C-alpha cells in the first residue's frame, strides 16, 4: 500500500503550498492530494446559504464536496453527529478517495474558517492519516488561484476499507455530565480538565439566543468561553499565528498540558478550537477530545437537572 503524501509539513496548509503541490502532482501517483470542500452554514444564516450551493458557485478544481448534514447519524435527534463507519466508508468510496490519499479540507470564502476543521477532524477520527486544513479559501480566491464552477467532476469509485472509529477522541454526554457534576460541587473547578466552548460569549453567558428555536442558551459548568472569532484574523478569517494563538489560550487560562474537551453548538466549531491548539504548537496528544453532541445535546438532556445549565460569566 502506498504511504500518505508527505508534501505538507504542518497541519495547516497555505493556499500557495496547496496550489504548488497540486500543480506538481504526477497524474499516475498512488498517493494523491485531494481538495475537499467542507462548506456549511448555520441554520439561521441570514442569507439562507447552503454549503453545496456555495461549492457549485466556486471551488478548487478536482475538489469533492463533503456534506456535514448528510454524512452523519441521521437517526440521532441531534444534528450532524458522527456517521457510522459504514456510511463514512461509502462516502469516501463514492468521492473517489483512497486510504493513502492526502486530503486538504477547506471552507467557504465567505466564512474563511468555520466548518472545514469539523470535516478534517471527522476524517482523523476514522483513522485517515493524511489530513490537513487549508488556511484558507478566502486567501486562495484573493490570490487569484484556480477555481471552477458547477457540480464538480465525477470520480471513479475506490475500495476504501471499513474504518475503525477512534472513540478516544470523543466525549459522550454521560461523561460530560459526570465532569460537570464534579465541577458544580467544586466551585466550577473542572478538576484539571479544560472545557472550551467555541460559541459566542453571549450564547455562553445565556444572554443571546441559540440559532435553534426553543433551545436555551448558557454553558456547561466549569467551561471557558473561547469564541471562534478570537482565534481568527478579523480580515482574512484565517487562523492567527502560532504565537498569537498561544496568547489567546494563555489569556483564557487554558493549561494545554492538561486534558482539553472542546465544545460548541453542535460539534462543528468545537473543532476550530482543536485545530487552533494544533496550530499553536500544542500537538495532538492524548486527552484532547471533542464533545460531539455539544450544547444542543447538553441543553436537551441536562435541562431540569440542578446546576447543569449555567447563566452568566
DSSP 71-85: SS-TTSSSTTPPPPH
Q: Which residues, 6+ apart, have CB-to-CB distance to 252 below 8 Å?
A: 196, 224, 225, 226
DSSP 207-220: SS--SSTT----B-
Which of 40, 13, 92 has its CA nearest to residue 264?
40
Helix (H, G, I), strand (E, B) or coil at 130: coil
Q: Which residues, 6+ apart, have CB-to-CB distance to 144 below 8 Å?
A: none
What is the 8-class DSSP label of residue 63? -
Known active-site residue 264? yes
Question: C-alpha grid cell for residue 40?
Answer: 456549511
Contact (Cβ atoms closer than 8 angstroms) between residue 308 and residue 302: yes
Q: What are phi and psi of 177, to 5 degrees?
A: -65, -40
**Site of grid cell 468545537:** 270
Contact (Cβ atoms closer than 8 angstroms) between residue 62 and residue 22: yes
Which of 264, 273, 277, 302 is flagged as catalytic?
264
Q: Is the CA virtual torsion 304, 306, 309, 313 positive or negative?
A: positive
- The residues annotated with a catalytic role in the active site are 264
Amino acid at each position: 500500500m502506498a504511504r500518505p503524501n508527505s508534501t505538507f509539513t504542518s497541519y495547516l496548509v497555505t493556499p500557495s503550498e496547496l496550489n504548488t503541490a497540486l500543480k506538481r502532482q504526477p497524474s499516475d501517483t498512488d498517493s494523491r492530494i485531494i481538495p475537499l470542500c467542507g462548506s456549511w452554514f448555520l441554520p439561521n444564516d441570514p442569507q439562507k446559504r447552503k454549503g453545496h450551493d456555495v461549492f457549485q458557485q466556486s471551488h478548487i478544481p478536482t475538489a469533492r464536496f463533503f456534506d456535514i448534514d448528510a454524512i452523519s447519524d441521521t437517526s440521532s435527534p441531534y444534528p450532524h453527529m458522527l456517521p457510522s463507519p459504514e456510511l463514512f466508508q461509502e462516502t469516501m468510496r463514492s468521492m473517489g478517495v483512497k486510504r493513502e490519499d492526502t486530503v486538504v479540507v477547506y471552507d467557504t470564502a465567505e466564512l474563511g474558517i468555520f466548518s472545514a476543521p469539523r470535516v478534517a477532524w471527522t476524517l482523523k477520527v476514522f483513522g485517515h492519516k493524511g489530513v490537513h486544513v487549508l488556511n484558507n479559501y478566502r486567501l486562495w480566491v484573493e490570490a487569484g488561484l484556480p477555481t471552477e464552477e458547477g457540480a464538480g467532476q465525477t470520480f471513479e469509485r475506490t475500495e476504501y476499507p471499513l474504518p475503525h472509529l477512534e472513540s478516544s477522541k470523543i466525549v459522550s454526554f454521560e461523561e460530560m455530565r459526570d465532569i460537570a457534576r464534579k465541577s458544580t460541587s467544586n466551585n466550577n473547578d473542572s478538576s484539571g480538565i479544560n472545557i472550551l466552548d467555541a460559541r459566542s460569549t453571549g450564547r455562553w453567558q445565556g444572554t443571546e439566543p441559540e440559532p435553534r428555536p426553543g433551545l436555551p442558551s448558557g454553558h456547561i459548568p466549569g467551561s471557558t468561553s473561547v469564541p471562534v472569532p478570537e482565534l481568527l484574523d478579523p480580515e482574512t478569517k484565517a487562523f492567527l499565528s502560532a504565537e498569537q494563538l498561544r496568547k489567546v489560550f494563555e489569556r483564557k487560562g487554558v493549561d494545554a498540558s492538561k486534558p482539553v474537551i472542546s465544545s460548541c453548538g453542535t460539534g462543528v466549531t468545537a473543532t476550530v478550537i482543536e485545530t487552533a491548539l494544533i496550530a499553536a504548537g500544542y500537538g495532538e496528544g492524548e486527552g484532547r477530545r471533542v464533545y460531539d453532541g455539544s450544547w444542543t445535546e447538553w441543553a436537551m438532556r441536562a435541562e431540569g437537572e440542578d446546576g447543569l445549565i449555567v447563566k452568566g460569566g
